[in-house]
Amino acid sequence: MSPHQSPGTASAITAVDLAKSYPGGRGKPRVHALAGLTFEAAAGEVFGLLGPNGAGKSTAVKILSTLSRADSGSAHVAGIDVARQPEKVRAAIGFVAQKSVCDPMDTGYENLVLAGRLQGLAGPAAKARALELLDRFSLGSARDRLVKTYSGGMARKLDVAVGLMHRPSVLFLDEPTTGLDPEARADMWEEIEGMAAAENMTVLLTTHYLDEADRLAAHVAILDGGRVVASGTPEGLKRELRGDAVILETGLDADPAAAASTMASLGYVRDVSRDGRTVRGRTDDGAAALPHVLAALDAAGVAVASATLARPSLDDVYLRHTGRSYSASAAEEVAA
Amino acid sequence: MSELTMVRQSRPTRPVSAAPALLAHTAFLTARLLRGFWRMPVYLVMNLVQPMIWLLLFGQLFKSIADIPGFASGSYVDFMTPGIVMMMALFGSAWAGTSYIQDMDRGVMDRLLTSPASRGALMASTMLFQAVLTVIQTAVVLPIAGLTGAKFDGGWAGLAILFLAAILLTFVFSALSNAVALLARQQTALIGISQLLSFPLMFVSSAIMDTRLSPTWVRDLARFNPFEWAVAAGRGALQASPDWGSVWGDLGLLAALVVVMGGLATAAFRAYQRSA
């Protein structure tokens, strides 16, 4: 590694071969949270890190935001080496953790002004910026209320505003919409879309929702086992998946193996796999294909309890690139 | 401030030298803790009620100790008032790490650590905040002690030294509590300090009992007890003619320990981040 590795000006975040492991607890082997993570985010874009819990997203964000140190590898944020000059990195970044970063016993306004002052803004500048952001995030009427009285969506917007106080050149958003109801999530998406353009900054977004990355990110990297297994534009990744998922639940008396072989024999259903009574496949136009699939199964004498069509999801991308599904853990996350 | 300078606030990489930043950040962060405290009136009342209970309870329970031959002071209330003041400081400080635990449970700590906020200021602000609580409690307990018969022969100078000793003691143990909070990250670990450390320190001291009436080993051990330094300094300063050499000696030891503990506790941030 050269001592003056200077990333190109077009790159806001560069991670090269980052590795990090934690003690696994008594008698257990070490947990390798990151195992050679490499990616690059261009200046001014929203970059999505996708993956299930435990894939290494949060560890990556912690290292890039100077909260944690990598065991090996190197990383630059806004052109600054995170291991060598963490203080400089801290002045250049905004950080929105998975958990709320606001003090519930302070008002929204007080939270923002404190963040601004700690970032080195003078009093009047911090106050003006706080009012501007409260207004932008439609929190103006709640400015003097304690944050503990805010709804989940309001508190999350304030978190983002705190990260924006000092106009950072890179903003880290760690699962900004996890735990929000659909309306608050849509609201947050709009805010993120608007601000990336307005603030002219790079946003590193971690999420386990493909639709979120799809909507917001120009580029995404999918993490598994602490490394990138696929990267590109959301469109490109979905194109690779070629079409919709068909998910069938066979009846209690039916033979799932027969269902799978029937589906595979149709020719237009690909990647057929079976997990208990669930049979999955992939087809170009799900809505057109489903009636034919059901008719074929009926003819083969396989009872179907339920049939679902799904647009390509993170689960599908993940399944394709890792060969296994994390739907169980994803289901828990959605339920949480 | 003109429009121009407002605009130029963007992308701040202004070189702020360390010392003013430390002081400014300490002020901002202490103000935040005080606001939170002020907004929890129940907590405020608890903090004021507790010293009164202690004073009245201990005062009544051990009243006749002063009659034991060889007891230093004529009145037990005189004797124990500095002891109660230091006990409140000690037991309150054991919980100082609570604000870190709360900040860690939320994302506040991570946000502060990824900002240019000085680690020294993060430490100093919680120590100062705890010292404010100690001052409030002491200011409440002293008049009540006076009403129950305590005499402060040392006058205002003596009282000022008593406050100083209580503040230094608070700094020492709130730094320790913060360090434990950063390393263990659990509120239960703080219970450990208050049970396993505070009580033994209290009993191996002259806070509620003249150590000249205790076994020799207690007296010998008490000499190495920072809590005893604070009790002795406070009690010494309240005498009609204090032994200033001894009082300032104890205060000096406490002050040195504040520097050591504050430094070690601030270093605990590195351990927190290593395992983050």
What pLDDT, on the 0 to 100 scale, is given for residue A16? 95
Does residue A6 form part of some domain? no
- Contacting residues of A for B116, CB less than 8 Å apart: 87, 90-91, 118-120
What pLDDT, on the 0 to 100 scale, is given for residue A328? 47
pLDDT band for position A237 (cuts 50, 70, 90):
confident
Domain that holds residue B118: 25-274
Q: Which of A8-22, A206-220, A322-336, B227-241 is predicted most confidently?
A: B227-241
**Where residue A59 sits, what CATH number does that domain have?**
3.40.50.300
Q: Provide mean pLDDT across the span A102-130.
A: 95
The distance of A162 to chain B (nearest Cα, Å) reads: 9
What pLDDT, on the 0 to 100 scale, is given for residue A274? 87
User: Is the per-residue pLDDT at A325 higher than 70?
Assistant: no
What pLDDT, on the 0 to 100 scale, is given for residue A324? 65
Which is more confident, A329 or B101? B101
Domain that holds residue A318: 238-335
Give the angle B112-A177-A193 at the CA atoms, nearest 5°: 90
A157 & A63 share domain: yes
User: Is the per-residue pLDDT at B254 higher than 80?
Assistant: yes
Residues 6+ apart with CB under 8 A from B258: B168, B171, B172, B175
pLDDT band for position B270 (cuts 50, 70, 90):
confident
Three-state DSSP at B132 gives helix
**A128 contacts chain B (CB < 8 A):** yes
What pLDDT, on the 0 to 100 scale, is given for residue A128? 96
Give the angle A261-A265-A269 at the CA atoms, nearest 5°: 95
Does residue B2 form part of some domain? no
How far, in Å, CA of B83 to CA of B207, rounded?
A: 4
User: Is the per-residue pLDDT at B168 higher than 70?
Assistant: yes
Does residue B205 form part of some domain? yes
What pLDDT, on the 0 to 100 scale, is given for residue B93? 92
The distance of A69 to chain B (nearest Cα, Å) reads: 6
Q: Is B107 within 8 Å of A98 when comparing Cβ atoms?
A: yes
What pLDDT, on the 0 to 100 scale, is given for residue A331? 46
Give the H/E segment covering residue A222: strand A219-224
- Indicate the residue type of B170: T
A300 & A188 share domain: no
Which of A96, A114, A173 to mutate against chain B (most B CBs within 10 Å)? A114
User: Is the per-residue pLDDT at B22 higher than 70?
Assistant: yes
**A194 contacts chain B (CB < 8 A):** no
pLDDT digits (tens, 9 = 90+) for A151-203: 989 999 999 999 999 999 999 999 998 878 888 888 888 888 888 777 789 99
User: Which of A58-72, A120-134, B46-60, B85-99 shows the lowest per-residue confidence on average (mean pLDDT)?
Assistant: B46-60
- Domain end, chosen from A191, A214, A230, is at A230
What pLDDT, on the 0 to 100 scale, is given for residue B5? 37
A170 & A47 share domain: yes
The distance of B4 to chain A (nearest Cα, Å) reads: 11
What pLDDT, on the 0 to 100 scale, is given for residue A3? 40
How many independent structural domains does chain A possess?
2
User: Is the per-residue pLDDT at A6 higher than 50?
Assistant: no
Q: Provide mean pLDDT across the span A103-112.
A: 95
Does residue A30 form part of some domain? yes
pLDDT digits (tens, 9 = 90+) for B175-230: 999 999 999 988 888 888 778 888 889 888 888 888 888 888 888 898 999 999 99
Does residue B8 form part of some domain? no
Residues 6+ apart with CB under 8 A from A316: A241, A245, A282, A310
A103 & A128 share domain: yes
Does residue B6 form part of some domain? no
**A3 contacts chain B (CB < 8 A):** no
Residue percentage of chain B with pLDDT more than 90: 50
**A84 contacts chain B (CB < 8 A):** no
A65 & A100 share domain: yes
pLDDT band for position A132 (cuts 50, 70, 90):
very high
What pLDDT, on the 0 to 100 scale, is given for residue B3? 37
pLDDT band for position A47 (cuts 50, 70, 90):
very high
pLDDT band for position A49 (cuts 50, 70, 90):
very high
User: Is the per-residue pLDDT at A96 higher than 70?
Assistant: yes
CB A293 within 8 A of CB A266: yes
pLDDT digits (tens, 9 = 90+) for B51-60: 788 888 887 7
A145 & A217 share domain: yes
How far, in Å, CA of B134 to CA of A95, rounded?
A: 35
Residue percentage of chain A with pLDDT more than 70: 92
What pLDDT, on the 0 to 100 scale, is given for residue A170? 94
Q: Is B115 within 8 Å of A95 when comparing Cβ atoms?
A: yes
How many independent structural domains does chain B possess?
1
Chain A, residues 24-63, CB within 8 A of chain B, namely 62
Give how far Cα B44 sits from Cα of A6, B25, B85, B173, Å.
Answer: 54, 25, 17, 20
Does residue B180 form part of some domain? yes
CB B235 within 8 A of CB B79: yes
A33 & A57 share domain: yes
- Contacting residues of B for A99, CB less than 8 Å apart: 105-107, 110
What pLDDT, on the 0 to 100 scale, is given for residue A4? 41
A172 & A85 share domain: yes
User: Is the per-residue pLDDT at A289 higher than 60?
Assistant: yes
**B113 contacts chain A (CB < 8 A):** yes
pLDDT digits (tens, 9 = 90+) for B26-62: 999 999 999 999 998 787 788 778 778 888 888 778 7
What pLDDT, on the 0 to 100 scale, is given for residue A314? 61
Token duo for residue B32: 């935040």
* CA-based nearest residue to A34, from A13, A19, A14, A50: A19
Mean pLDDT in chain A? 86
- Domain end, chosen from A230, A250, A271, is at A230
* CA-based nearest residue to B231, from B138, B181, B165, B171: B165
Q: Which of B9, B16, B113 sits opposite A67 (nearest CB)?
A: B113
A193 & A119 share domain: yes
User: Is the per-residue pLDDT at B1 higher than 50?
Assistant: no
A188 & A317 share domain: no
Which is more confident, B206 or A127? A127
How far, in Å, CA of B273 to CA of A214, rounded?
A: 33
A44 & A191 share domain: yes
Q: Provide mean pLDDT across the span A64-73.
A: 93
DSSP string, B204-245: SSSSSS-GGGS-HHHHHHHTT-HHHHHHHHHHHHTSSS--HH
Helix axis angle for B119-147 and B98-105, nearest 10°, is: 140
Question: Can you tell me which residue has the tokens 């903003």?
Answer: A171
What pLDDT, on the 0 to 100 scale, is given for residue A202? 93
Does residue A5 form part of some domain? no
Q: Provide mean pLDDT across the span A23-46.
A: 88
Q: Which of A62, A91, A163 sits opposite B116 (nearest CB)?
A: A91
The distance of A306 to chain B (nearest Cα, Å) reads: 42
How far, in Å, CA of B104 to CA of B83, rounded?
A: 34
Q: Which of B16, B36, B115 sits opposite A106 (nearest CB)?
A: B36
Does residue B171 form part of some domain? yes
A129 & A195 share domain: yes
Q: Is B115 within 8 Å of A118 when comparing Cβ atoms?
A: yes
Does residue B216 form part of some domain? yes
Number of A–B residue contacts, CB under 8 Å = 112
With CA atoms as reference, the chain A residue closest to B99 would be A103
pLDDT digits (tens, 9 = 90+) for B114-143: 999 989 999 999 999 999 999 999 998 999
Q: Is A22 within 8 Å of B113 when comparing Cβ atoms?
A: no
- Domain end, chosen from A196, A230, A264, is at A230
Does residue B19 form part of some domain? no
Does residue A263 form part of some domain? yes
Three-state DSSP at B16 gives coil
Mean pLDDT in chain B? 86
Does residue A3 form part of some domain? no
Token duo for residue A27: 């008698």
